[in-house]
Structure 1
Amino acid sequence: MTIFTVHSVGTAPEPSREPLDELRRRVGFVPNLAGAIAAAPAAIDAFNQLQRALRDTTLTGAEREVVGVAVSVANRCPYSVAAHSAFAARAGVPPEVIDALRAGKDDVPEEKAAALATFSRALVRSGGLVDRAELAALLGSGYSPAQVLEVITQAAYTVMANWVANVTGTTLDAALADRAWSP
């Protein structure tokens, strides 16, 4: 028996319909994860607003997706690893980088992607109590203090998605099936 409904725009609670429809327009379909979040209007609104705000950071789409994959692997979230892998490919992240991230490897082929992944995994592992050397490594790879905060914001957004997907057992959308992943 499942206790979580995956809503469509038509079945979602009234206050969830506009945020869900906005996601549908932006992505081209209503992802199952968003449909699950839509049961709580405040949650889907927060999810949508945070996603919108992240597009206005100084991090590129590719950098945000590197964080998304790294955090999702650290949280053992099959749904989000698949989603962020697909979005990373669309954002131009090289396949060998995506493969290394999905494998949880420390030796990611691009220096900046490696620094983002290492720091993102440290955030999850430590609950934000990252070692100063881990912070210095991210800063040393060319990221500014403001961008560190943007990485934290992306990680927090991704953790929300991971937790929802893991708790609700959200099934993978057909559009993401070729990126399926298991821990």
Structure 2
Amino acid sequence: MFATHTVETAPAASRPAMERVTKAFGQLPDAVARLAESPELLNGFLDMSAAFERATLEPVARETVIMTVAVRNDCRICVALHTGKLRQLRADPEVVTALREQRPVPDERLEAVRQFTLAVLAAAGGVGDDDLRTFLAHGYSERNALEVVLGIGTYTMSTLANRLTRA
């Protein structure tokens, strides 16, 4: 149902973002081609994703948040893309497999990120003091806790839109 746009067929307000993504990836990902139907969603997601990339959480911890959301929301394209990103970051293959299978991660700090992400999702942000203390006890900060929320928001938008558009 949703069109797979090219730069030429997309709404004008989506075209600059599509061109930037194509230049960065060497091709236009299917998800971007479909999300282009809504310049607001496409540009909003790309802006939020860039903000999350600037967060103080280390890269593999950010990817842990993303994979936790992507697997929970059954976004196959997101799981595939972010499995590749974890491999580029040289994440332990056991970590990648555990994230894909929704099971505990063999790295204590990353497992704290995964568990905190799940707690935030389950409680719609209203996590208990014990959940927050556990996260902080693994060397994370209150800023990092808020960055987890940023990642959840960004990739909830992405995963739901990707599923809706059948990307």
Do the aligned partners of 1:23 and 1:48 also contact (CA within 8 Å) in 2? Answer: no
> Which of residues 5, 13, 23 in structure 2 aligns to 1:7?
5
4+ residue runs of structure 1 moved beyond 4 angstroms?
Answer: none
Do the aligned partners of 2:4 and 2:33 also contact (CA within 8 Å) in 1? Answer: yes
> Which of residues 119, 123, 126 in structure 1 aligns to 2:120?
123
TM-score after normalising by structure 1: 0.85
Q: Displacement, 1:44?
A: 1.0
Pair 1:51 & 2:49 matched = yes
Report the AA paired with residue 118 of structure 1: Q
Q: Displacement, 1:113?
A: 0.9
**What is the aligned partner in structure 1 of residue 92 from structure 2?**
94
Do the aligned partners of 1:64 and 1:154 also contact (CA within 8 Å) in 2? Answer: yes
Question: How many pairs were matched up?
Answer: 167
**What is the aligned partner in structure 1 of residue 34 from structure 2?**
36
Gaps of at least 5 residues in structure 1 are: 171-183
**What is the aligned partner in structure 1 of residue 20 from structure 2?**
22
Q: Displacement, 1:133?
A: 1.8
Q: What SS does the aligned partner of 2:40 have?
A: helix
Do the aligned partners of 1:20 and 1:30 also contact (CA within 8 Å) in 2? Answer: yes
TM-score after normalising by structure 2: 0.93
Pair 1:112 & 2:112 matched = no
Q: Displacement, 1:81?
A: 1.4
Fraction of identical pairs, as percent = 30
**What is the aligned partner in structure 1 of residue 156 from structure 2?**
159
Q: Considering only aligned residues, what root-mean-square deviation do their CA atoms show, in Å? A: 1.4
Residues 20-61 of structure 1: CA deviation (Å, up to 9, x unaligned): 111222233221111111101111111111122122111222
Report the AA paired with residue 31 of structure 1: P
> Which of residues 139, 146, 149 in structure 2 aligns to 1:149?
146
Q: What SS does the aligned partner of 1:129 have?
A: coil
**What is the aligned partner in structure 1 of residue 101 from structure 2?**
103
> Which of residues 135, 140, 143 in structure 1 aligns to 2:137?
140
Report the AA paired with residue 9 of structure 1: V
CA distance in 2, matches of 1:166, 1:64: 21
CA distance in 1, matches of 2:72, 2:45: 20
CA distance in 1, matches of 2:102, 2:122: 13
Report the AA paired with residue 150 of structure 2: T
Gaps of at least 5 residues in structure 2 are: none
CA distance in 2, matches of 1:124, 1:57: 19
CA distance in 2, matches of 1:148, 1:28: 34
CA distance in 2, matches of 1:74, 1:124: 10
